[in-house]
Structure 1
Amino acid sequence: MGTITKRLNKSGQVKYTAQIRLRRKGVIVYQESQSFDRKQVARAWMTRREAELAQPGALDSASRKAVPLKNIIARYLEEYERIRPLGKTKRATLCAISETWLGGVLDSELTSQKLVEYAQWRISKEGGGVQAQTVGNDLSHLGAVMGVARPAWGYEVDSVAMSDARKVLRKLGMVSRSRERDRRPSKDELDKLLSCFFELQDRRPSAIHMPKVIAFAIFSTRRQEEITRIRWEDLDEQRQSVLVRDMKNPGQKIGNNVWCHLPDEAWKILQSMPKSGREIFPYCSDSISASFTRTCKFLEIKDLHFHDLRHDGVSRLFEMDWDIPRVASVSGHRDWNSMRRYTHLNGRGDPYKEWTWLGKIIAAPVELGARVPSEADPGLARAVQAKRRPVN
């Protein structure tokens, strides 16, 4: 049962303090108090709280210690990466959110109002003066954390707080989708890139074979992370297709394995790689991105991303008059809206017909160096030999 105590505060005003104490076997297991100006209001609050605490599980929920958002984010990062490494952008964004004032907000206080306030702060000069697209990205990554916080770990996170905040922010024009890119590499830019990378191969034969990676990205339409995950065992020789593991998908990333057709050019590049390990392109995805970005800067090629090669590859297939289902069999897209973002046509016909670089890229030797298991180790040698067997 609760009690109401009348007292005077420092300014001499009358206050009524309603106090609730719950006992189990003579021991106080929970207590809570609140002060009010009127006795009737104090009694109404006490009656309502006693009824709430009588509900199944309510006492455990009320007794739990509140947890700040930064702790929830840290747990998400730790447990997610046990399954698969996070992308650099997502990890950096979540870590940055943890360092802001929002990271100190307790789980039970993470309301739609707090999220709207955070978005307004980010757009302000004090919060970095970012664009609406950046705010949208912040909330998208944070939404992934909030989506699992309650059902997976029992944190008191409002399940509709993010969706409510997004509705408000969209009406205010404070969140938007990322700008659709229409950038494709020109033949002149590819000439410069490939010439530079082949010169690098002459000096450092065991470096990442960027010419093969670049050409494979264009003709296969694969993302850089997907390229580095492809294994020899993932190939289907009869169908000329590859199993793309954990293909990017908004609703399912882990375990979203999709069979994709490989056009002839991509298949020939892939078959030109040495069959000396499990992965066909045993390179680090971040290293590929860094090498591409660094070389573009050196050659003064403006605003070209490695991912633009995928745009180029998908657009090329449409320029060759492939229909949507056939293009989707290569790119892995599931709907036209997603595919449309990658389609920017420059004409009709195959822009890479009789491309002189293709033959040189296919014929180029590859040295994997330390990326290949040592044959001196019997255990690793047996594993390598097993992977060299023909795929059924």
Structure 2
Amino acid sequence: MATLVKTPSGTWKAVIRKNGWPTASKTFRTKRDAEDWSRRTEDEMVRGVYIQRSGSERMTLEAALKRYLSDVTPTKKPTTQRGEISKAKKLIEHLGKYSLAALSAEIIAGFRDKRLSESGHKGNLSNNTVRLELALLSHLFTVAIQEWGVGLTFNPVLNIRKPSPGEGRDRRLSPDEELRLINAVNAHSNPMLGWIVRIALETGMRASEISTLRRHQVDLERRVLRLKDTKNDSARTVPLNRFATEAIKSAMNNPIRPIDCDLVFFGEPGRDKKRRPYAFTKVWGTLKTKLKMRDFRFHDLRHEAVSRLVEAGLSDQEVSAISGHKSMQMLKRYTHLRAEDLVERLDSLQRGRG
């Protein structure tokens, strides 16, 4: 039987001690509530289905996310870590005060709808951003259930509808934009920016793959770059055309490179005296604003490069070997062919038959 004790503050504390089970206790405003909880809990113990929920009732989402960012996030890639930190801030802003036990599917669905409504207001929030925020929340619940022992019985995120991923971006560079962009990055005070943009445009490499490139990965004799640490964890070898080769050669011959630095694109030493990859995100943002290309992202250079490879006649297998796409469906989302270029190819095919 449960023991009910009235506290000095006027509330009622129920304590259950039963052989084979940890002591369970909870405080209520009324004696009736304490009795109801005691009967329900003892019944669950008899049926062998009792789960101590106090951990999930005490732990707020904010506290859970901080633990997740401390224990789980550091095991992931640096780019993923930065993304999760950003997504966690939004989850904490909207849901941080709720306990894990209180976060129902209804509440999470409300968060989803509110975040999606911000897309229309600000014009810069994609469905996929909300999908990724929900994915982080879902994995947190999975970890909490399987590893933290906080007394959760199910993952409420699994019970809500996820936003559709939407169509892939189709932002392409016009000839005028490309000319202005190349001239601007080449005129920048740090020549590494121009080399990085040229390599991205010619190879389709991701920003992280370029910025973390080290000298031992460069084979100028064979004109290839050997990548090991990629987004999808698959090593690949990237061939270099003439423009990309020239950019890599210039970067490798950078006269201001410290003799002990293996990075191809290096930044200034930090407080710990260590050099890290050249951080160009802020410079890129300023530059594209100045060029009136606010909607053009650095990752769009990858879109452009992959589309050009397809337009040049390379097969899907050849393009995926260069770009690193594992899925042909994903490759298709990144590939957007100009209709006018297809017209020219159709005409050339017709002339060949004629």
Do the structures match in fold with TM over 0.5? Answer: yes
In the alignment, which of 231, 236, 239 is matched to residue 262 of structure 1?
239
CA–CA separation in structure 2 for the residues paired with 1:302 and 1:118? 28
Q: Report if the CA contact (8 A) 2:226-2:235 is conserved.
A: yes
Q: 1:247 to 1:145 in 2, by over 3 A?
A: farther
In the alignment, which of 69, 72, 90 is matched to residue 96 of structure 1?
90
Q: Report if the CA contact (8 A) 1:246-1:257 is conserved.
A: yes
Normalising by structure 1, report the TM-score: 0.66
1:274 and 2:252 correspond: yes
Any idea what SS the aligned residue of 1:209 has? Answer: helix
- Corresponding residue of 2:198: 215
CA displacement at 1:113 relative to structure 2: 2.6
Q: 1:116 to 1:278 in 2, by over 3 A?
A: same
1:232 and 2:220 correspond: no
Q: Report if the CA contact (8 A) 1:119-1:135 is conserved.
A: yes
CA–CA separation in structure 2 for the residues paired with 1:278 and 1:196? 27
Normalising by structure 2, report the TM-score: 0.73
More moved, 187-196 vs 105-114: 105-114
More moved, 258-267 vs 300-309: 258-267
Q: Please give the per-residue CA displacement for 1:8-42, whole angstroms capped at 9, x wherever unaligned.
A: xxxxxxxxx99552068xxx9433478659x9x88
- Corresponding residue of 1:315: 307
Q: Report if the CA contact (8 A) 1:132-1:176 is conserved.
A: no
CA displacement at 1:208 relative to structure 2: 5.0
Q: 1:311 to 1:155 in 2, by over 3 A?
A: farther
Residues 161-172 of structure 1 aligned to structure 2 (within 5 Å): 161-166=156-161, 170=162
Q: 1:241 to 1:129 in 2, by over 3 A?
A: closer
Q: 1:243 to 1:112 in 2, by over 3 A?
A: farther
Any idea what SS the aligned residue of 2:101 has? Answer: helix
1:120 and 2:120 correspond: no
Letter of the structure 2 residue corresponding to residue 96 of structure 1: K
CA–CA separation in structure 2 for the residues paired with 1:197 and 1:129? 29
Q: Report if the CA contact (8 A) 1:239-1:261 is conserved.
A: no
In the alignment, which of 329, 341, 345 is matched to residue 337 of structure 1?
329
- Structure 1 residues not aligned, in runs of 5+: 6-16, 250-255, 350-392
CA displacement at 1:288 relative to structure 2: 2.0
CA–CA separation in structure 2 for the residues paired with 1:157 and 1:238? 58
Any idea what SS the aligned residue of 2:24 has? Answer: strand
CA displacement at 1:226 relative to structure 2: 1.5
- Corresponding residue of 1:149: 144
Q: Report if the CA contact (8 A) 2:251-2:264 is conserved.
A: yes
The Cα RMSD (Å) is 3.8
CA–CA separation in structure 2 for the residues paired with 1:326 and 1:280? 26
- Corresponding residue of 2:46: 51
- Corresponding residue of 2:256: none
Q: Report if the CA contact (8 A) 1:296-1:302 is conserved.
A: yes
Q: 1:92 to 1:225 in 2, by over 3 A?
A: same
Q: Report if the CA contact (8 A) 1:4-1:42 is conserved.
A: no
CA displacement at 1:63 relative to structure 2: 5.5
Q: Report if the CA contact (8 A) 1:216-1:269 is conserved.
A: yes
- Structure 2 residues not aligned, in runs of 5+: 6-11, 254-258, 268-275, 344-354
Q: Please give the per-residue CA displacement for 1:315-344, whole angstroms capped at 9, x wherever unaligned.
A: 011011111111011000011111111101
CA–CA separation in structure 2 for the residues paired with 1:143 and 1:270? 42
- Corresponding residue of 1:76: 68
Aligned length: 310
